[in-house]
Structure 1
């Protein structure tokens, strides 16, 4: 049985051990943290080893026009995505060891030629310090949680805004794609200009951590009867207040083809169970919400199309642990599991694998709520940290700090060069995968990798036939409106 507090503590300690670079400024900046933990159950004893193999922080993603056809920009820097991409680096390293005849603590040979599977007793779980953005964040508010956004009286009142509270901020696009990275002061100036021009920044989700105890944070379900009735205005001349239940807002927008959120006051503000893209301030993004991505990984696995060439079975997280924050077990179940529970007709090696859902009573020290508690007058306003940190258990360059899709601190002159690229961008992960293919004896290559016609990133993804068949089943039965990637962004070598 997984202890949620033990997992949270393990991840927070791993973060604490990292260098200062890229971390939020205490009392002024906040961020979100996610991690992948490898769990190994020893065969001859009751010992269970737990190790953080990948960790990520981040709250931002780039706008649509900033995406690169060269695959050299990190489009999505939300913590969950950073942690998963770092885990891909870790898995590639372990497969390198396996195909080279060295011992791997993760993989062993499978029955199919050129295929590998997990060692006995090895599994992976996922940790996130906050409920994932999108559907999993549309949860009932309770009396221990402050309202995350102002009352909504009409659609007209919210012109120029996104209307709800926003757990994560998308990166504001700069004028021209290749500009020097903004310093925090410049980002704040840009945000102020947006607010003055009508594109006001959405309020950040917040809650009262003082009044929420461990027993509440571990609650498995938020019942309608437990909802705090929120004051929405004077009901009559006697001064009585009209009371309605309310929900936390998400800034993630419904994908094209889905009716827009109704924006009614209280609990009727959002539609639920729908696909959403992460928000931008002034420019749309193409990045699906983390709720949607976690749901997808529960069927297709988190290994992705490329590594599926080498794996006999998809790798799914058997548990998702959430840190102390506003939380609803029922909503998490809906967002991460129920939406895909009916999918059938999957090819061999794929199955619907809904994760166990747990919450810890331990809060991330750099959460938005904790940062606000520690904020001192005169320190400037509380804001999300602009950098994203990736650490993974690999021998070469385990630490990768980025901002605006590139390595942190890179200058305009270096943009477009290898020195500017994050180790997590599509191009770098593709090159690491090609290195794995080259390290594999030609006679031991999976059949799907023996074609001489494979050249581009898209070619290799499409050649992973079982993965693509599974994705087709998931797409048609659960997520028919999932936006398709622009092929011109996938043709790099």
Structure 2
């Protein structure tokens, strides 16, 4: 069945709430280690689900095969050439890397002559494909960081912080009380009603004049501009006029008569525009960010080399989520048929822009690759450790609300299914064991590379894919580059959609 048709059929068989519920239940079943402290720490949750359409039936079987939490990212300085550091610990990346572990295990079963619920032999020698009726869905409890999180705020979103008064209002000795009295006096005058009607008609014009002239002759600003972040970032901003309040939902514009006009603001992202491309204008309100551009995650105190989760999901929609190594074994790339987002600030239009539209024009891809946009759905179920839920449960004695420092990975594998990390290494390790196997996450490049080489060793030499028959393959870099079809697809994606995508220095990928 064609991928797009398969996706539409599955959407009729599963609901977004069913997917979210399964993911939350799988998380709740995990041990306490690495989980956020209720009421004080928040984290996003992401997961990959295998969906199997039952033959001769209208039912499907749904199974969480990988799950991840996390908000952190390593900056450039700590990165090393050993491949033993987990650079990007955002939930979406953790979930996808855990799924790679699961797929390696399933391929190991297949090449060893065992039963795999995922793969069956393909036509090409040494190649495998998905079992009939099997597909994969992606779930994230919050919109991915970066472009997908630059979402217009709604009128119903609350402003927990009081508006910051303008410079002009501070001139009075009553701390702004004069403004309130003036507004009350105006309410008693019939002319005010006419004035308000006129202001509503000309609101857009006045705001444009305000931005173009950059003066305060017609209006003065009272800013409560948002720095509401996606849950994977910690971000604060200053404006030239006033400090920006951290959770506001709008800009308030005050004219000479003391009345306030409300201009929609946007949720903001801490991810920074990649060097060499458009920069964020940092204008008030909806003009704060550039949209549709590649962004880098902030590392610990410095920029990172990791692209935002929005960008990575868009990339997976063209290259597949299996990566370069597993592409050696697969006749066709693996794509997520559906992306489900939990209850959070959400815009279907923005998700479409961030995950689909930016790559929809890519063409001339090699055999086995295509542009496969996922169906985008939102659930009405909220994650218990979302930032919003954490703030609701927060008590003053707990200190400030903050992102959880640990990242949890669970995947459906036989050995070490649970992996908890912090700062790129196993959670709780001491400096004495850094650089040894005891400190490494199962998700780091080195461990995944070792798992892949075990798969190659388990494959009968006569059944090896042609691309793995070269004797000069030694390093992680060698094996990635030898996946020629994947590299060709990657080149087409970069040249046509993402020319500014930052790629890892070769020197960081020469480990064995």
TM-score by length of 2: 0.82
Q: Distance in 1 between matches of 2:135 and 2:352?
A: 21
Shift of the alpha carbon at 1:165?
A: 3.7
Which residue pairs with 1:5 in the alignment? Answer: 17
Q: Distance in 2 between matches of 1:397 and 1:294?
A: 26
Which residue pairs with 1:296 in the alignment? Answer: 315
Which residue pairs with 2:129 in the alignment? Answer: 117
Which residue pairs with 2:119 in the alignment? Answer: 107
Which residue pairs with 2:487 in the alignment? Answer: 468
Matched, 1:396 2:415: yes
| Bigger CA radius of gyration | 2
Q: Distance in 1 between matches of 2:326 and 2:105?
A: 11
Residues 148 and 475 (structure 1 numbering): CA distance in 2 closer, same or farther, change over 3 Å? farther
Superposed CA offset, 1:10-49 (max 9, x none): 0000000000000001111111000000000011322210
Residues 331 and 457 (structure 1 numbering): CA distance in 2 closer, same or farther, change over 3 Å? same
Give the one of 91, 107, 131 matched to 2:143: 131
Which residue pairs with 2:56 in the alignment? Answer: 44
Superposed CA offset, 1:41-68 (max 9, x none): 0113222100000000001111111111
Q: Distance in 1 between matches of 2:478 and 2:456?
A: 14
Residues 75 and 147 (structure 1 numbering): CA distance in 2 closer, same or farther, change over 3 Å? farther
Shift of the alpha carbon at 1:338?
A: 0.3
Which residue pairs with 2:389 in the alignment? Answer: 370
Superposed CA offset, 1:86-109 (max 9, x none): 000000000000000001000000
Which residue pairs with 2:460 in the alignment? Answer: 441
Q: Distance in 2 between matches of 1:296 and 1:152?
A: 44
Q: Secondary structure at the match of 2:100?
A: helix
Residues 401 and 49 (structure 1 numbering): CA distance in 2 closer, same or farther, change over 3 Å? same
Structure 2: 5+ residue runs without aligned partners?
1-11, 167-210, 215-225, 238-242
Contact kept, 8 Å, 1:39 with 1:124, in 2: the verdict is yes
Where does 1:1-400 land on structure 2 (aligned, <5 Å)? 1=12, 2-146=14-158, 164-168=227-231, 230-236=250-256, 238-280=257-299, 282-400=301-419
Q: How many equivalent pairs are there? A: 438
Contact kept, 8 Å, 1:231 with 1:241, in 2: the verdict is no
Shift of the alpha carbon at 1:385?
A: 0.6
Shift of the alpha carbon at 1:380?
A: 1.3
Q: Distance in 2 between matches of 1:360 and 1:168?
A: 17
Shift of the alpha carbon at 1:260?
A: 1.3
Superposed CA offset, 1:339-382 (max 9, x none): 00000000000000000000000000010100110111211111
Contact kept, 8 Å, 1:255 with 1:481, in 2: the verdict is yes
Shift of the alpha carbon at 1:269?
A: 0.5
Superposed CA offset, 1:430-456 (max 9, x none): 000000000000000000000010000
Contact kept, 8 Å, 2:297 with 2:306, in 1: the verdict is yes
Q: Root-mean-square deviation (CA), in Å?
A: 2.4
Superposed CA offset, 1:195-217 (max 9, x none): 9xxxxx9987x69xxxxxxxxxx
